[in-house]
Homo-oligomer: A and B are copies of this chain.
Amino acid sequence: MNRCFGGKLLFGTRLVVSLCLLGLVHLFGSAHAQTIDPLPSWNEGPSKARILAFVQAVTDKSGKDFVPPADRVATFDNDGTLWCEQPMYVQMAFVLDRVKALAPKHPEWKTQQPFKAVLERDFKALHAQGEKGVMQILAATSTGMSSEAFNRIAGDWIAAARHPKFKRPYTELVYQPMLEVLAYLRANGFKTFIVSGGGIDFMRPWTERVYGIPPEQVVGSTGKLKYEMRDGNPVLMRLPGIDLIDDGPGKPVGIQTHIGRRPIAAFGNSDGDLQMLQYTAAGSGARLLLIVHHTDAEREFAYDRKSSVGRLDKALDEANAKGWTVVSMKTDWKKIFPFE
């Protein structure tokens, strides 16, 4: 309170009161910022420290690493980075369920691959159908309807489906520490985007509610759309065929097409995120490159170099070589899910 007493010697009473109030606000503001931990689900350690240091550096107006708010763009992979992707990508669970639901209308599927394999839960036979099989399943389950119809179907499914291990809706299986990072970045003037290999319309019905990320900030794999008049009503029909596979080298393409500027922070967990991390890293100025390493078989899953879902191999080598932040779920995260 020295400042206040000093002020009293120099100025009249009313001005002193104002200055004291300003001082109190200032002091209280600082104390407040120091005591409220923006990342309470993170254990103290180098990962947490680097996130905090990065945000402080790019928001410090007088520092050399300051970045104007408009350029504070952060991109997040979804599967395995923001929510659980094991034992299979959630959208894969969705399309397999859709095959089952639609099967009564398609008796031929009982003998026709790849549908036969799906209906018999024969994942080895399904895998043998390769990318062509996946495209056939996507076409049969996710096209030939309007965008709005698909949104309803996907939204209804996500509300009803349960994870096989955790027996909870998938939208509850989001990582609490990452929700805190999203909120912390936004509170510091960042615009947060999802950049996912998943279908853009599969994610949009719930990303705002679950992550606080609105539909227009979701970048994902994109199918062909066609504008049509049906009974005098304009609709966007979903056609077979993909315009963008927003995975691997497709992620920087999706970023440029949708966002139009290079992120200064990128978060991923697999080799599918490598190019997004490289592209983000290659810009000038302070950068945060972070990989979520699934190391916790007990609380979630443990997998990396040999997993068919969310393989983390080349990106782990590059992260180690370049000094990117590799988060160990087991040691860095106090809790994994919000409900714990």
Query: Contact residues of A with B, CB < 8 Å?
Result: 70, 73, 147, 191, 193, 200-201, 204, 208, 214-218, 222, 225-227, 233-234, 236, 243-244, 249-250, 252-253, 256-261, 275, 278-279, 282
Please tell me which one of the listed residues B227, B244, B260, B278 contacts residue A201 in the complex, with CB atoms under 8 A apart. B260
A233 touches B70 (CB 8 A): no
Give the CA-CA distance A236 to B254 in the complex, in Å: 11
8 smallest CB-CB distances across A and B, nearest first, come from: A215-B260, A227-B249, A225-B253, A216-B259, A227-B252, A204-B260, A234-B279, A234-B278
Please tell me which one of the listed residues B208, B217, B225, B278 contacts residue A257 in the complex, with CB atoms under 8 A apart. B225
A260 touches B216 (CB 8 A): yes
Please tell me which one of the listed residues B70, B217, B227, B261 contacts residue A279 in the complex, with CB atoms under 8 A apart. B227
Residue in A217, A225, A227 whose Cβ sees the most chain B Cβ within 10 Å: A227
Please tell me which one of the listed residues B236, B250, B257, B282 contacts residue A256 in the complex, with CB atoms under 8 A apart. B236
Closest to A258 in B: B258
Looking at the assembled complex, report how far the CB atom of A70 sits from the nearest CB atom of chain B, in whole angstroms.
Answer: 6
Complex contacts, A261 vs chain B, CB 8 Å: 215-216
Beyond A227-B252, A279-B234, whether A260 also contacts B218 by CB under 8 A is yes
Complex contacts, A249 vs chain B, CB 8 Å: 226-227
Complex contacts, A216 vs chain B, CB 8 Å: 73, 191, 193, 216-217, 258-261
Closest to A73 in B: B216
Closest to A255 in B: B236
Complex contacts, A147 vs chain B, CB 8 Å: 256
One complex includes copies of this chain to the number of 2
Residue in A249, A252, A256, A275 whose Cβ sees the most chain B Cβ within 10 Å: A256
Please tell me which one of the listed residues B218, B226, B234, B256 contacts residue A225 in the complex, with CB atoms under 8 A apart. B256
Complex contacts, A208 vs chain B, CB 8 Å: 70
A282 touches B234 (CB 8 A): yes
6 of the cross-chain contacts (CB-CB < 8 Å) are A200-B257, A215-B260, A216-B260, A233-B282, A234-B278, A236-B279
Complex contacts, A258 vs chain B, CB 8 Å: 216, 258
Complex contacts, A259 vs chain B, CB 8 Å: 215-216
Give the CA-CA distance A126 to B244 in the complex, in Å: 33
Give the CA-CA distance A73 to B215 in the complex, in Å: 11
Give the CA-CA distance A236 to B251 in the complex, in Å: 11
Given A216-B259, A234-B252, 16 new contacts (CB under 8 A): A70-B214, A200-B260, A201-B260, A215-B259, A215-B261, A216-B216, A225-B256, A226-B249, A226-B253, A227-B250, A227-B279, A233-B282, A234-B279, A234-B282, A236-B256, A236-B279
Complex contacts, A282 vs chain B, CB 8 Å: 233-234
Give the CA-CA distance A236 to B261 in the complex, in Å: 12
Looking at the assembled complex, report how far the CB atom of A214 sits from the nearest CB atom of chain B, in whole angstroms.
Answer: 6
